[in-house]
Structure 1
Amino acid sequence: MLHHIEEPCSLGAHAAVIVPPTWIIKVKKPQNSLKTSTRRKKRTSFKRKASKRGNEDNKGRPFVIKPISSPLMKPLLVFVNPKSGGNQGTKVLQMFMWYLNPRQVFDLSQEGPRDALELYRKVPNLRILACGGDGTVGWILSILDELQLSPPPPVAVLPLGTGNDLARTLNWGGGYTDEPVSKILCHVEDGTIVQLDRWNLQVERNPDLPQDELEDGARKLPLSVFNNYFSLGFDAHVTLEFHESREANPEKFNSRFRNKMFYAGAAFTDFLQRSSRDLSKHVKVVCDGTDLTPKIQELKFQCIVFLNIPRYCAGTMPWGNPGDHRDFEPQRHDDGYIEVIGFTMASLAALQVGGHGERLHQCREVTLLTYKSIPMQVDGEPCRLAPSLIRISLRNQANMVQKSKRRTSMPLLNDPHSIPDRLRIRVNRINLQEYEGLHYDKEKLREACKFEEAGVLFAFDFPAIPLGIIVVRGDCDLETCRMYIDRLQEDLQSVTSTTQRVHYQDQESSFPRVLSVQRLSPRWCFLDATSADRFYRIDRSQEHLHFVTEISQDEIFILDPEMVISQQVGTPPGMPDLVVEQAVIAGDLLKFIECCKKGANLLIQGPDRCSLLHHAAKTGHGEIVKYILEHGPSELLDMIDSETGETALHKAACQRHRAICQLLVDAGASLRKTDSKGKTPRDRAQQAGDPDLASYLESRQNYQMVSHEDLETAV
């Protein structure tokens, strides 16, 4: 194929963001002028010394960038932090290396962003994609400030971190799942440039305290600038516990789920110790000349947050809906004002269920005095700061790329006049196991589905299960479409309330196939079926950005991770359930997962009226317990057997399986539920002779009770 060598390369569909190879100029290495022959030993030693000296002195790259200006180009610089959010970035790094010029993709674990930004500082229309957590974005913005690039390139975010609050604010979602790189590049190219306020933090010694009364603690904050929030009190103490534990044992924090579970445990510990209960007695807050200290002391806040963006603590909205509070303006991230919010333990608990804190002020400057060492955090970076005087003031505004609502994914939307007034769309549901195995095989996931509108008979080819038909407007977005699907589910439940199972006769088998008419779990999400080779999940926080016609025209696929298929085609009734029960008792994890993928029902109960979770908890098979908790419905947690009235937590406590007890408690198993003899799991652990386990269960039981009371008070 030598005749193709001279053909020009168009750089493909993403030519606008790819750095052309012609821009990269190789730098010649300096030649060694010593040509006279010397002894071999001396020459060898000279080369070795020169190479060592060269490695130390020559830190520059073997190439330079010489761009050719073009108004149609938006060259992209990609920074990937492989350690963010459970080390997910390694795969992302490889994907961008494949799609783009490898010279425009940089691994932040190998080097910082400074050298790359200096290398590309003269490239016009440059855009930056930060793949990592909010800390990664802040790091890049700080380097841009130091380099004083004019104009500063806008920064987009691919969320790989744990909280990703800035990414949520800019419509990039709460975490990367499996969206194709080609879609991400389109969003970066088409995104809207918005402004983000950035705030200075100036720290001095508290002038009101003599030198001998200053307590131990850090003398400066980990960051002098924040983009998201600055807080002190309870939440900062929890973050500090997480940070110290991760520094000591980094191998234990390799997934986003485990990180969030540790946050929950650290919050529980701090809650019992009440370490932040006296915060209001040791701070003074003045906002634009207004002293808020009396109100802080009156309401006994245990956490104070200075918030720049609407999102906080992995997606919550602590400022709440401004419509019901006429004293303040709506919150914005580009208005030059910072929001001051106070929290008690009750309002922090309510925050996770849609509540908000106490709105205190919207201001341009803050003066904060602390009179004891207090945990603080700056954009998730924690420390324990000695008594100090802290001044907060506006620093500048950064250019950011906000993900925009797109109308170009489908040919139907190229012409606005071709958008129909009404769309009649079939909704198909897919379970997690089949999605993970077949999301790269669109044909199998699209296999024929036949739906009779009477709502009585479903006939289809596994794995896509028809849920029903909805009628929506042609310009309906997915956020609105979700309401229609939830309403369809309610109608389906009412139709099948007297008959909980739907039967149909398979054409190739004499056995009827039985399907549970399950309610959609709260975790269901839309699947985009328009990419060339695969399906991918759409983050719920991004549903308002997508139109229905962008992901499909005549049918919608949704992923329900908790959907269970009770029986597979061509298998005698009860056979998969019998096999899966034997696999659980034997502790055969691979066989158990295979049975689940073939349709075994996780809700089955054997002759002894014990569920699969009961068996796994009793026999101590932790990996099976973990799999059931991740893929089974939530009602399994507190399901009881009919003989003894025990839950799976009772079974694990009787056998003194501490790790399994912790898994069940973290998943939300009730610690107050009693068996037929009136015994709680804590009582069972005490009877089994394990006082440590009994003490742990008792402490978690007290926490559940207090949390419930705080939540009721907040509501």
Structure 2
Amino acid sequence: RKAIAKSSLQHIVAQPNPALALRSDSERQIRSTVDWSETAVYGEHIWFETNVSGDFCYVGEQNCMAKLLQKPLSKRKCAACKIVVHTPCIEQLEKINFRCKPSFRESGSRNVREPIVVRHHWVHRRRQEGKCRQCGKGFQQKFAFHSKEIVAISCSWCKQAYHSKVSCFMLQHIEEPCSLGAHAAVVVPPTWILRVRRPQNPLKSSKKKKRTSFKRKSSKKGAEEGKWKPFVIKPMPSPLMKPLLVFVNPKSGGNQGAKIIQSFMWYLNPRQVFDLSQGGPKEALELYRKVHNLRILACGGDGTVGWILSILDQLRLNPPPPVAILPLGTGNDLARTLNWGGGYTDEPLSKILSHVEDGNIVQLDRWNLHVEPNPDVNSEEKDDTAADKLPLDVFNNYFSLGFDARVTLEFHESREANPEKFNSRFRNKMFYAGTAFSDFLTGSSKDLAKHVKLVCDGTDLTSKIQDLKPQCLVFLNIPRYCAGTMPWGNPGEHHDFEPQRHDDGCIEVIGFTMKSLAALQVGGHGERLCQCRQVVLTTSKAIPMQVDGEPCKLAASCIHISLRNQANMVQKTKRRNSMPLLNDQQPVPERLRIRVSRISMRDYEALHYDKEKLKEASVPLGIIVVPGDSDLELCRTQIERLQEEGDGAKRKTLSSQKLSPKWCFLDSTTADRFYRIDRAQEHLNYVTEISQDELYVLDPELVITQTVGTSPAMPDLVDSSATPTGHHFAFPSSSFSPPCSPAPSAEPEHCLPHKDDLIEAAKSGNFSKFQELHQAGRDLMVRDSSGQTVLHHAVKSGSKDVVKYIIENAPSEILDATEEENGETSLHQAAALRQRTICHYIVEAGASLMKTDLQ
């Protein structure tokens, strides 16, 4: 006990002073960012506001101000060591001398030369996941009304945890060196980061020297003081280490950055995690420029990645550190190309760090854009609203002009005017879609070919462009474009061209008509014009353009495109070292017989932090048999085949009902909770990585309509004639039966006589009649004999009031409902009839832009 107390593990009992603890925040600075100044405090906590429930105050009941004052107080959580205290209790932590894990060390002649080891940073825990490293048993939380008993002692660096008792946590654990845990290879040890003292002024004896000599020396000293920084990095390189710098753009995508910053500070040293809104990446890269084997993780959109690559160009680091991507943006095309996925959902950051460490280093071509005014254009014809230069002079993904740039420009201007309306990736995509439909209907880029001259590697392609009459020209460096589409097509389709690569020193030039742009969303491609190494593009009027998503309207210009350099990037690859322990000790079996179970979105959101309850809530689909080394793409094929085999049987149970098109796999083994796997990354995951004896899938369109009793037991095989007694489920398309039907059925024939009057009201655009019939109990999901919904008929009638009423009152499934003859949705028909406002209504309500008709 004495040794534990000496190591600051045992709380020191101190009588709190309420008046002192309740000082204003202005008097007592509470830091929420890392302090890089010379006044930085050793072991300082990094506090974020939290609304965690229960009384978790780390200072204990004897020192807690909330307990003393008998009133609720705001709480703060330290990102680096995860302790929670009431805001007024932060000062009590200082009194009991409990510091955060140290992120640097002090310099000195002795300290710099001697090798320094990192010690554990032990913290008492009132709640702890996992098992004790000593005895192998789990941690049981003992709840009381106002407090929780300490159940564990864990290290903030390596995450090792022990029961808070002498038989498990032994004396030798206190002072032993820390390994820094599973991610030691990417953690920057605090022993590498030194705080240095400010240089002292020279002695006054220098006055005896000549004046000229004094001037020269003082100016040199002034320059040295100007370069002085409070912190320096003294790395001790190891061939196994790949130190990581994390740059997070908190404004990218759906503003996920703030939570991600906190999580990375827990897994890593807080001084290797940087918020890009606090000054950009340049100072951090300069500080760490001498670190061997350095890697960078860019958390943001493609624009964030381009920003970091441009700073690396300026600093001329040799060799330039490779950059990995955690996609937080809207399009994320570069992230898709390098297998990082189309957007971060809820994958554990621990697994992402492992992928960054194990990823392959690949090259990415980068292209210069040199702009000159077009001398052949009269000054009278110039557009005063157009810019004279592009927003960026280099691109990594693509450079384009025409239709897509106009849409991006409108999005950019709207976001600048109303930033509060663009706080989620979904809303951003919806705005893109609505703007695209508006421009499609107005034909704003129809005459692009008349104002463009194109020369590629000395070959004039202007006549080819005039014949094609494209509404969009794209100069493509990577295979992905426009949020994941592949405009160059698949390698097997190429005849006159080579397959596209991001490291071949060639750029692909593609033209798009409105027809090929529409086909792009369903696997089509544009008109391949050429693959070249140099481009000269001349425009004769102001045209919208975009460079890696940064748009502008550029005045008539001559643009030269040429290869700039190649950047090092980290490509995500398949991993075998995160397989379950059961499989690590034996070879992978030739065949696997895996049970597949389905989980609804409601259960997932409510229970995904509790594995056992989520498993109990799952419902069986059936069993698949796959090779032992199968990835999830093959498993998807087998599961869809399992569904097709069940189509012939009458679907009475959930297990026999078909999966919706948006289902995805869930990883149930590699983290302490379930998490979703991106559809685009299924080929990177082995089935043995994410499951042991059961494979779980998430069906986001599954709706639980009633819950009685307990969930059904999991059978070895699915019996399609058996009905689960615990749950009654229905899909959205069948869950909205007409009021007169006593039970759900595929075709409620006895309600057919009531269909015609509601459909006729929609056909005629009679809003008052339509509203009256619905309020009398008519079902808005009714269809006519050809499968058309009331929304289809309202669109054809052109009645905006009826369309708005249906969207506001009908289930969302009506937006993507298709008629039988051509497979068209109401959005297809509204676009064909050029009904711009109605298109806006349907798109903004959430209609899918990926739906295709039968033609």
Distance of aligned partners of 1:307 and 1:475 in 2 relative to their CA distance in 1, 3 Å threshold? same
Q: 1:687 aligns to what?
A: none
| Equivalent residues in 2 for 1:288-327, closer than 5 Å | 288-327=457-496
Match of 1:122 among 290, 299, 321: 290
| Match status 1:536 vs 2:675 | yes
Match of 2:339 among 149, 171, 174: 171
Aligned residue for 2:277, secondary structure, equals coil
| Match status 1:481 vs 2:635 | yes
- Greater alpha carbon shift after TM alignment, 654-663 vs 556-565: 654-663
Query: Are the aligned partners of 1:131 and 1:158 in contact in 2 as well (CA < 8 Å)?
Result: yes
| Equivalent residues in 2 for 1:645-660, closer than 5 Å | 646=790, 658=804
Structure 2, unaligned stretches of length 5 or more?
A: 8-172, 203-224, 711-726, 745-754, 756-778, 820-825, 828-834
| Equivalent residues in 2 for 1:99-110, closer than 5 Å | 99-110=267-278
Q: 1:491 aligns to what?
A: 645
| Match status 1:270 vs 2:424 | no
- Greater alpha carbon shift after TM alignment, 203-212 vs 234-243: 203-212
Task: For 2:227 and 2:802, locate their aligned partners in 1 and report how far apart those are by CA, in whole Å.
Answer: 58
Task: For 1:85 and 1:354, locate their aligned partners in 2 and report how far apart those are by CA, in whole Å.
Answer: 25
Structure with bigger RCO (C-alpha 8 Å, 6+ apart): 1
Q: What letter corresponds to residue 485 of structure 2 in structure 1? A: T
Task: For 1:565 and 1:87, locate their aligned partners in 2 and report how far apart those are by CA, in whole Å.
Answer: 30
Q: 2:308 aligns to what?
A: 140
Task: For 1:645 and 1:203, locate their aligned partners in 2 and report how far apart those are by CA, in whole Å.
Answer: 52
Task: For 1:600 and 1:698, locate their aligned partners in 2 and report how far apart those are by CA, in whole Å.
Answer: 29
Q: CA deviation at 1:699?
A: 8.0
Match of 2:351 among 171, 175, 183: 183
Q: CA deviation at 1:103?
A: 0.3
Match of 2:815 among 669, 672, 679: 669
Q: 1:441 aligns to what?
A: 610
Task: For 1:493 and 1:61, locate their aligned partners in 2 and report how far apart those are by CA, in whole Å.
Answer: 69
Task: For 1:324 and 1:712, locate their aligned partners in 2 and report how far apart those are by CA, in whole Å.
Answer: 23
Q: What letter corresponds to residue 483 of structure 1 in structure 2? A: T
Q: 1:550 aligns to what?
A: 689
- Greater per-residue helix proportion: 1
TM-score (norm 1): 0.76
Q: Cα deviation per residue 1:503-547 (whole Å; 9 max; x = unaligned)?
A: xxxxxxxxxxxx474311111111111124111111111111111
- Identical pairs, percent: 69
Distance of aligned partners of 1:88 and 1:100 in 2 relative to their CA distance in 1, 3 Å threshold? same
Task: For 1:270 and 1:609, locate their aligned partners in 2 and report how far apart those are by CA, in whole Å.
Answer: 44
| Equivalent residues in 2 for 1:12-23, closer than 5 Å | 12-23=181-192
Query: Are the aligned partners of 1:640 and 1:647 in contact in 2 as well (CA < 8 Å)?
Result: no
Task: For 1:566 and 1:319, locate their aligned partners in 2 and report how far apart those are by CA, in whole Å.
Answer: 45
Q: CA deviation at 1:212?
A: 3.8
Query: Are the aligned partners of 2:367 and 2:394 in contact in 1 as well (CA < 8 Å)?
Result: yes
Q: CA deviation at 1:58?
A: 8.3
Q: CA deviation at 1:427?
A: 0.5
Task: For 1:274 and 1:421, locate their aligned partners in 2 and report how far apart those are by CA, in whole Å.
Answer: 57
Q: Cα deviation per residue 1:281-300 (whole Å; 9 max; x = unaligned)?
A: 11011111111111111111
Q: Cα deviation per residue 1:20-54 (whole Å; 9 max; x = unaligned)?
A: 01111113357899xxxxxxxxxxxxxxxxxxxxx
Q: CA deviation at 1:383?
A: 0.4
| Match status 1:279 vs 2:448 | yes
Distance of aligned partners of 1:475 and 1:670 in 2 relative to their CA distance in 1, 3 Å threshold? closer
Q: 1:221 aligns to what?
A: 390
Task: For 1:295 and 1:664, locate their aligned partners in 2 and report how far apart those are by CA, in whole Å.
Answer: 49
| Match status 1:527 vs 2:666 | yes
| Match status 1:419 vs 2:588 | yes
Task: For 1:138 and 1:101, locate their aligned partners in 2 and report how far apart those are by CA, in whole Å.
Answer: 25
Distance of aligned partners of 1:25 and 1:638 in 2 relative to their CA distance in 1, 3 Å threshold? same
Q: Cα deviation per residue 1:317-359 (whole Å; 9 max; x = unaligned)?
A: 0000132221011100000000011100010001001110011
Q: CA deviation at 1:265?
A: 0.7
Distance of aligned partners of 1:7 and 1:700 in 2 relative to their CA distance in 1, 3 Å threshold? closer
Task: For 2:379 and 2:174, locate their aligned partners in 1 and report how far apart those are by CA, in whole Å.
Answer: 75
Q: What letter corresponds to residue 696 of structure 1 in structure 2? A: T
Q: What letter corresponds to residue 837 of structure 2 in structure 1? A: Y
Query: Are the aligned partners of 2:574 and 2:685 in contact in 1 as well (CA < 8 Å)?
Result: yes
| Equivalent residues in 2 for 1:336-485, closer than 5 Å | 336-410=505-579, 411=581, 414=584, 418-447=587-616, 463-485=617-639
Distance of aligned partners of 1:654 and 1:400 in 2 relative to their CA distance in 1, 3 Å threshold? closer
Aligned residue for 2:697, secondary structure, equals strand
| Equivalent residues in 2 for 1:486-635, closer than 5 Å | 486-496=640-650, 500-502=651-653, 515=654, 517-570=656-709, 603-605=735-737, 607=739
Query: Are the aligned partners of 1:229 and 1:379 in contact in 2 as well (CA < 8 Å)?
Result: yes
Task: For 2:604 and 2:192, locate their aligned partners in 1 and report how far apart those are by CA, in whole Å.
Answer: 42
Q: CA deviation at 1:700?
A: 6.9
Aligned residue for 2:528, secondary structure, equals strand
| Match status 1:242 vs 2:407 | no
Q: What letter corresponds to residue 300 of structure 1 in structure 2? A: K
Task: For 1:365 and 1:218, locate their aligned partners in 2 and report how far apart those are by CA, in whole Å.
Answer: 24
Query: Are the aligned partners of 1:604 and 1:611 in contact in 2 as well (CA < 8 Å)?
Result: no
Aligned residue for 1:480, secondary structure, equals helix
Distance of aligned partners of 1:226 and 1:419 in 2 relative to their CA distance in 1, 3 Å threshold? same
Distance of aligned partners of 1:98 and 1:698 in 2 relative to their CA distance in 1, 3 Å threshold? closer
Q: 2:771 aligns to what?
A: none
Query: Are the aligned partners of 1:610 and 1:641 in contact in 2 as well (CA < 8 Å)?
Result: no
Q: 2:360 aligns to what?
A: 192
TM-score (norm 2): 0.64
Q: 1:586 aligns to what?
A: none
Task: For 1:14 and 1:470, locate their aligned partners in 2 and report how far apart those are by CA, in whole Å.
Answer: 35
Task: For 2:808 and 2:329, locate their aligned partners in 1 and report how far apart those are by CA, in whole Å.
Answer: 25
Q: 2:145 aligns to what?
A: none
Q: 2:765 aligns to what?
A: none
Q: 2:426 aligns to what?
A: 257
Query: Are the aligned partners of 1:426 and 1:468 in contact in 2 as well (CA < 8 Å)?
Result: yes
Query: Are the aligned partners of 2:302 and 2:548 in contact in 1 as well (CA < 8 Å)?
Result: yes
**Structure having the higher Rg:** 2
Distance of aligned partners of 1:645 and 1:428 in 2 relative to their CA distance in 1, 3 Å threshold? closer
Task: For 2:818 and 2:606, locate their aligned partners in 1 and report how far apart those are by CA, in whole Å.
Answer: 39
Task: For 2:433 and 2:805, locate their aligned partners in 1 and report how far apart those are by CA, in whole Å.
Answer: 17
Task: For 1:645 and 1:92, locate their aligned partners in 2 and report how far apart those are by CA, in whole Å.
Answer: 44
Structure 1, unaligned stretches of length 5 or more?
A: 34-56, 448-462, 503-514, 572-596, 615-635, 674-679, 682-693
Task: For 2:552 and 2:486, locate their aligned partners in 1 and report how far apart those are by CA, in whole Å.
Answer: 24
Q: What letter corresponds to residue 603 of structure 2 in structure 1? A: E
Query: Are the aligned partners of 1:412 and 1:418 in contact in 2 as well (CA < 8 Å)?
Result: no
How many aligned positions are there?
Answer: 592
Aligned residue for 2:704, secondary structure, equals coil
Task: For 2:421 and 2:187, locate their aligned partners in 1 and report how far apart those are by CA, in whole Å.
Answer: 37
Task: For 2:598 and 2:229, locate their aligned partners in 1 and report how far apart those are by CA, in whole Å.
Answer: 51
Runs of at least 4 residues of structure 1 off by over 6 A? 30-33, 57-60, 597-601, 609-612, 648-657, 662-668, 670-673, 698-703, 710-713
Distance of aligned partners of 1:610 and 1:25 in 2 relative to their CA distance in 1, 3 Å threshold? farther
Task: For 1:664 and 1:63, locate their aligned partners in 2 and report how far apart those are by CA, in whole Å.
Answer: 61
